[in-house]
Amino acid sequence: MKLFFAPIAAALTLLAAPVLAVEEEVKTLDELYADVIAEGGKLIFYHGGDLANQQDSLKAAFEEAFPGVNVTMVVDYSKYHDVRIDNQLETDTLVPDITALQTVQNFPRWAKAGDLLEYKPANFSKIYDGLKDKNGAWLAYGVNSFSYIYDSSNLGGLDAPTSPLDLVNPDTAGSGLPPWPTRASTANNLVTAQDKVIGVGTYAGAPPIVYVGGNGTEYLTWGQRLAILAKAKHPAAAKLFMNWIVSTEVQESVVLETVRTDIAPSGSSHPWEISEANLDAFPLFMSNRAQVEALKQTFALYFGEVQGEPTPGYLGVHPGL
């Protein structure tokens, strides 16, 4: 009888044992750097974006800070990187060590499946709670924002749009984007080149380009989520990057909008302090995949399918090898 109950008792003991919480990293950047050199000095990074060179400045800043560390930065649309990572996980052919994507709905799913390394870099406790997983599976390293822009020098007598409702004013017909969906960078470029007066779903530009958001006008902000893959081949390098990107120096000088509550925002307030910024809305929207797919098809019906070649190129299933 004792032999029968012994395994059950052992199993119950394991279930009752407290799960040890992940503690914040205590090593310095120099100590983590030494670990990376010992590991081989390589990091493979899958980052979401529109252009192959879009994250060159981030790569250069990291490599300059840590000579001898070589970063393979692979930029592609987040909607391709996420399924690419899924494929690699399924086939046990994982390439990236770390990834940062706009398709934020993937990170909780990957965390639940055990595909992300639970890790808390130094300063993790200073990151706004809504921009990190409590167990350290992922965090946002910066906050991005999208709204609409207009060329104040090219209005042609029209009143400047002050709210999204102004964009459907018949007087502005033809002044906005082309009649097919485009990327954020394309929208910005068209307005900057004065091919269009108004661009929707894009980021700020230099004068005379005016970015509309705040002061009663709704706009979108979201945290650029970042995670280390649990099966990363270069975990030390991934940890170094994670610690570096949320360090005080980098959050103040490299990242456009900090995720840390103890660092001053770029404007008068942090995004999570601005109700019009809708910081929590984007992850909720992205998590409702049925709604997203329905909207995609509705937009395709009215505006047409996305046109043109993918700007990062066709990268295949295992880029970065």
Please report the pLDDT score of residue 179 as a whole number: 46
Q: What are phi and psi of 209, to 5 degrees?
A: -75, 125
Residue 227 near residue 93 (C-beta atoms within 8 A): no
One domain, residues 83 and 154 = no
With respect to residue 135, please indicate whether it lies within any of the assigned structural domains. yes
One domain, residues 111 and 229 = yes
Domain-terminating residue out of 173, 191, 212: 212
Contacts 24+ apart (CB under 8 A), 249-258: 250/61, 254/58, 254/61, 255/141, 255/142, 256/142, 256/143, 256/144, 257/142, 257/143, 257/144, 257/145, 257/221, 258/142, 258/143
Residue 259 near residue 251 (C-beta atoms within 8 A): yes
With respect to residue 308, please indicate whether it lies within any of the assigned structural domains. no
With respect to residue 315, please indicate whether it lies within any of the assigned structural domains. no
Cβ count within 10 A of residue 172 = 17
Q: Which domain holds residue 180?
A: 145-212
With respect to residue 4, please indicate whether it lies within any of the assigned structural domains. no
Please report the pLDDT score of residue 180 as a whole number: 45
Type of residue at 176? G
Residue 74 near residue 105 (C-beta atoms within 8 A): no
With respect to residue 27, please indicate whether it lies within any of the assigned structural domains. yes
One domain, residues 93 and 240 = yes
CA separation, residue 180 to residues 280, 300, 305 (Å): 28, 8, 7
One domain, residues 134 and 154 = no
One domain, residues 225 and 295 = yes
DSSP conformational letter for 194: T
> For residue 61, which of 235, 255, 233 has the smallest C-alpha distance?
255
One domain, residues 138 and 150 = no
Burial 278-298 (b: 16+ CB within 10 A, else e): bbeebbebbeeeeeeeeeeee
One domain, residues 180 and 285 = no
With respect to residue 198, please indicate whether it lies within any of the assigned structural domains. yes
Instruction: Give the pair of three-digit tokens for residue 177.
Output: 């984007």
Cβ count within 10 A of residue 232 = 22
Mean pLDDT by 10 residues, the chain (321 residues): 53 55 96 99 98 97 99 98 99 99 98 99 98 99 86 73 72 54 59 62 62 75 97 99 99 97 94 93 95 94 86 96 94
DSSP 49-65: -SSTTTTHHHHHHHHHH
With respect to residue 309, please indicate whether it lies within any of the assigned structural domains. no
Please report the pLDDT score of residue 313 as a whole number: 92
One domain, residues 85 and 181 = no
One domain, residues 169 and 292 = no
One domain, residues 62 and 151 = no
With respect to residue 3, please indicate whether it lies within any of the assigned structural domains. no
Residue 88 near residue 320 (C-beta atoms within 8 A): no
One domain, residues 193 and 295 = no
Please report the pLDDT score of residue 71 as a whole number: 99
- What does pTM read for this prediction? 0.85
One domain, residues 185 and 199 = yes
Domain count, the chain: 2
Domain-terminating residue out of 212, 232, 252: 212
* CATH number reported for the structural domain that contains residue 113 in this entry: 3.40.190.10
Residue 233 near residue 97 (C-beta atoms within 8 A): yes
DSSP conformational letter for 272: G
Torsion of CA 67, 36, 100, 78, to 10 degrees: 90
